[in-house]
């Protein structure tokens, strides 16, 4: 089993492979990726996901709030940066403009990001300003109520990093567990406060004036094949159709949205 957060370069490569094998085909079911198109990734980290799209001839921009992760991105994508294929910005999306990033984008990516962001409805509405007329936005995220929806896997504790569902406990109990395990309480509480459900996501995007182009729910997240050696599996249709309950049994969802016309 690969420990995600201990080998950043390998995680970079895994994200790129996962994007090529699963994210890109999902997007292309409804949107054709062509060389010369522009792609923006929010919370780009080290740029592993972006790398897959650069390899398809797109020009990329990555926005990230963690300076250390951009240092790695600058190293591992140094050739692409030198060739003008990608640029990285240590920036908050609210503090920049499409013009400052070189223009609007045909594709915007948020992979495992939206569940970390407060005021999600504000962000999703704001992203319209960065899209071209026919541009689309991809979201991939774990529903909050799923077994590891609290991102327990990033904890140092071998035990608590693998225990499912306890992130759903009342906040005082949850904080007590984290403090007892000597974990970063503030970081984990922030994730608990911003977790998002399938129903909330679909409601927010509809209210913000987007059309849903494509969606896919996974019983087993594609990225788990690298972490646990588990084969990715789509969610059963019967489970996917049950509001609220599906959040507890779905480890990952993919969505593709576009401004309503």
Q: Is 63 helix (H, G, I), strand (E, B) or coil?
A: strand
Determine the average pLDDT of the residues in 156-162.
Answer: 92
Per-residue pLDDT, 6: 63
Per-residue pLDDT, 132: 97
Going from the C-alpha of 244 to that of each of 121, 131, 186, 198, 250, the distances in angstroms are 19, 31, 27, 8, 11
Neighbours of 155 (CB within 10 A): 21
Per-residue pLDDT, 226: 85
Pairing of strands 59-64, 38-42: parallel
Q: Report pLDDT digits (tens) over 116-142.
A: 999 999 999 999 999 999 999 999 999
Residue among 145, 160, 155 at smallest CA distance from 115? 145
Cβ atoms of 101 and 72 closer than 8 Å: no
Cβ atoms of 46 and 12 closer than 8 Å: yes
- For the domain 4-143+195-259, what is the CATH superfamily, name and number? Vaccinia Virus protein VP39 (3.40.50.150)
User: Residue 2 pLDDT more than 50?
Assistant: no
Cβ atoms of 58 and 39 closer than 8 Å: yes
Determine the average pLDDT of the residues in 77-99.
Answer: 97
In whole angstroms, give the CA distance from residue 50 to residue 128.
Answer: 20
Mean model confidence pLDDT for the chain: 95
User: Residue 1 pLDDT more than 60?
Assistant: no
Q: Which helix (H) or strand (E) element contains residue 49?
A: helix 48-54
Cβ atoms of 173 and 143 closer than 8 Å: no
Per-residue pLDDT, 5: 54
Residue among 257, 250, 163 at smallest CA distance from 209? 257
In whole angstroms, give the CA distance from residue 29 to residue 52.
Answer: 17
Domain positions in the chain are 4-143+195-259, 152-191
Confidence label for 7 from pLDDT (cuts 50, 70 and 90): confident
Q: Which helix (H) or strand (E) element contains residue 15?
A: helix 8-18
Q: Is 96 helix (H, G, I), strand (E, B) or coil?
A: coil
Confidence label for 227 from pLDDT (cuts 50, 70 and 90): confident
Q: Is 28 helix (H, G, I), strand (E, B) or coil?
A: helix
Cβ atoms of 208 and 201 closer than 8 Å: no
Q: Report pLDDT digits (tens) over 23-77.
A: 999 999 999 999 999 999 999 999 999 999 999 999 999 999 999 999 999 999 9
Confidence label for 228 from pLDDT (cuts 50, 70 and 90): confident
């Amino acid at each position: 089993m690969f420990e995600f957060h201990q080998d950043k370069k390998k995680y970079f490569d895994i994200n790129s492979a996962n994007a090529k094998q699963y994210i890109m085909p999902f997007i292309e079911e409804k949107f054709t990726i062509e060389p010369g198109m522009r792609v923006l990734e929010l919370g780009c980290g080290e740029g592993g996901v972006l790398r897959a799209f650069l390899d398809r001839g797109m020009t990329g921009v990555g926005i990230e709030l963690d300076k250390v992760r951009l240092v790695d991105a600058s190293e591992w994508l140094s050739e692409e940066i030198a060739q003008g294929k990608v640029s990285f910005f240590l920036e908050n999306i609210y503090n920049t403009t499409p013009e400052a990033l070189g223009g609007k984008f045909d594709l915007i990516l948020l992979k495992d990001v939206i569940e970390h962001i407060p005021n999600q409805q504000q962000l999703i509405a704001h992203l319209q300003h960065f899209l071209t007329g026919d541009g689309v936005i991809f979201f991939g995220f774990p529903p909050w109520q799923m077994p590891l929806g609290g991102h327990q896997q990033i904890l140092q504790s071998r035990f608590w990093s693998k225990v499912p569902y306890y992130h759903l406990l009342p906040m005082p109990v949850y904080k007590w567990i984290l403090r007892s395990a000597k974990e970063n309480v503030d970081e984990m509480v922030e994730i608990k406060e911003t977790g998002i459900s399938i129903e909330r996501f679909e409601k927010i995007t509809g209210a913000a004036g987007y059309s849903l182009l494509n969606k896919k729910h996974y019983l087993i997240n594609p990225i788990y094949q690298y972490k646990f050696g588990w084969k990715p599996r789509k969610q059963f249709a019967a489970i996917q159709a049950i509001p609220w309950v599906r959040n507890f049994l779905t480890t990952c969802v993919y969505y593709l949205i576009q401004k309503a016309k």
